[in-house]
Structure 1
């Protein structure tokens, strides 16, 4: 089945950020997310999940274990399990990105 933002399961997080579940399986999660300017997620880590963040549009800051990575379109960064991280949009434009997780992160998120 073909999937995209128009027909994927949608949710809102952080009050103003959007997520669309493109793949929602126990062994794999692919989420398309949108963060408006000036938003950020809570710094956290995952006990089991390995993640890959890949920017589609805009520019994001991904802090991984104290190191800030500035991600431009078509750039990404891997985050290993147990490593604290935080995605931020400090720019003046929305940022859209993919978050790929193996396995999925449901019940596997802990605030750092």
Structure 2
């Protein structure tokens, strides 16, 4: 068992991007913040599935070329090998919790956005 507060970790880009609260041994869990107009690169995972729960704002996901708008309270599941791109197309901050499992240390593959 362990406990931490979100403020104990830092976002990848200072005040935005992903923030991992746990990495392994069986799953990754974190928070991602996207500022208005900010995006997160298109990528996929070979073995890990990824789940997002929108906490604030709106995020437009592009999953294997299909656009899906998610708002506060929405949950979206991404299967392994499904390329996914996140984009905040709104004028306010977007925040989501994410979980990847089963944990694999190096499973992210960058993918061109079609």
Question: TM class, shorter-chain normalised?
Answer: 0.7 to 0.9
Structure 1 stretches of 5 or more lacking a match?
A: none
Report what 1:52 is aligned to: 51
**Bigger fraction of residues in strand:** 1
TM-score by length of 2: 0.86
Matched residues in 2 for 1:59 and 1:36: separation? 10
The C-alpha deviation readout for 1:16-44, integer Å capped at 9, x for no partner, is 62333222213101111111110111111
The C-alpha deviation readout for 1:53-97, integer Å capped at 9, x for no partner, is 110001111111111111110101100001111111011001000
Aligned residues: 110
SS in 2 for 1:6: helix
Where do 1:80-99 residues align within 5 Å? 80-99=79-98
CA-atom RMSD in angstroms: 1.7
TM-score by length of 1: 0.87
Structure 2 stretches of 5 or more lacking a match?
A: none
